[in-house]
Amino acid sequence: MRNSLVIAVASAAIILLSATIHGKLTDRWGLATELQTAANRLDQIPNQLGDWSSEPVLLDKSSLEVANVAGYLCRRYVHKYSREEVTLLVVCGRPGQAAAHPPEVCYSASGYEVSAKRSRELTVYGSAWEADFTRAGNGTDALRIIWAWSDDGIWSASNSPRVQFARSGYLYKMYIIRRTTTPAADTTALASFLERILPECQKQLSLTNAQS
């Protein structure tokens, strides 16, 4: 009888512990302070980057809830003189969620043909993946997308972000999207934008900034 009681109590404790861990991992009881702080730092990325000014882009709320995103920044930046446009999307969430659904999966499901992705060095700011996405229709819809993951403002073209960042309490995923009719030849606008946005991301999303 005593052994049965011990087993029952131990089983209940294990179930309660498992439920607690699951609740914390899925933020069932609200976002953890570390994750919420990381998500809030996205607001510090400036909407004016030299000659690039921006306007916010609102994303579908239900899609964000399904993706379990803690916070996001989405802006369309336009160059003052060339009128070139670049869209920046940075989401923040748990590593398991933020590591999921890279653009070659999401966009191919929407009918885009995806070129072989290639690594792009970001000088002192790490590396990113880059690929061209095209979709036939009423005129060719062509995009060049740069994407990467980070937990400190230094980006990684990771093959396994879920594993690489498993120990982090949060993870940022960045998309830089350039719409163009000739993606293979379009490098000037992206290079100009990267030169401006990468130092700001490192400054505002770094661990040093988080602790200041």
**Residues 151 and 170 placed together within one structural domain of the fold:** yes
Quote the pLDDT of residue 107.
86
Quote the pLDDT of residue 29.
36
One-letter amino acid of 64: L
pTM for the model = 0.80
Q: Which two three-digit tokens encode residue 125?
A: 């700011």
**Residues 8 and 49 placed together within one structural domain of the fold:** no
Quote the pLDDT of residue 57.
94
- pLDDT < 70 stretches in the chain: 1-32, 63-67, 138-139, 181-186, 207-212
Quote the pLDDT of residue 17.
36
Q: Are 182 and 154 in contact (CB under 8 A)?
A: no
Quote the pLDDT of residue 68.
73
DSSP H helical segments within 41-120, as ranges?
61-66, 95-98, 103-109
**Residues 9 and 44 placed together within one structural domain of the fold:** no
pLDDT digits (tens, 9 = 90+) for 168-205: 999 999 999 998 766 555 678 899 999 999 999 999 99
- Domain region containing 11: 1-30
**Residues 191 and 201 placed together within one structural domain of the fold:** yes
**Residues 74 and 176 placed together within one structural domain of the fold:** yes
Which residues lie closer than 8 Å to 93 by C-beta, 6 or more apart? 35, 67, 68, 69, 70, 170, 171, 173
Domain count, the chain: 2
Quote the pLDDT of residue 80.
94
Quote the pLDDT of residue 55.
97
Quote the pLDDT of residue 67.
67
